[in-house]
Amino acid sequence: MLSRKKVIKKGRSSNILNKINSQRLNKKFCDVVLFVDEEEFPTHRAVLAASSEYFDAMFSSKASIKQKNRCIVFPRLVIII
């Protein structure tokens, strides 16, 4: 089995994060839109789930997979799936 260090070269992970951010800024592959105080933030569901246990649980539920164009409203935050 290869060690993680051999598979991912030093600095590669930051390069990947920069590319994902560039895709987000260009609204490429975005599958979720967050609205905060009428401002729109296109995002990647996988990134939200990887960075937050809350979003991971929300996006992992079977109901979430079946429902498209669902809107979840929180104080100061609206999530469109």
The full set of domain ranges for the chain reads 29-81
pLDDT 10s digits, 28-47: 999 888 888 778 888 998 99
Tokens read off for 70: 């669902």
Q: Are 19 and 11 in contact (CB under 8 A)?
A: no
Q: What is the pLDDT of residues 54-79, one digit of tens each?
A: 888 888 876 555 556 666 666 666 67
**Separation between Cα atoms, residue 31 and residue 24, nearest integer Å:** 10
Task: Supply angle C-alpha 50, 73, 77, rounded to 5.
Answer: 65
User: Which token pair is 63?
Assistant: 């109901």
Q: Model's pTM, two decimal places?
A: 0.66
Structure tokens at 54: 């809350």
Rounded Cα–Cα distance for residues 66 and 57 (Å): 15
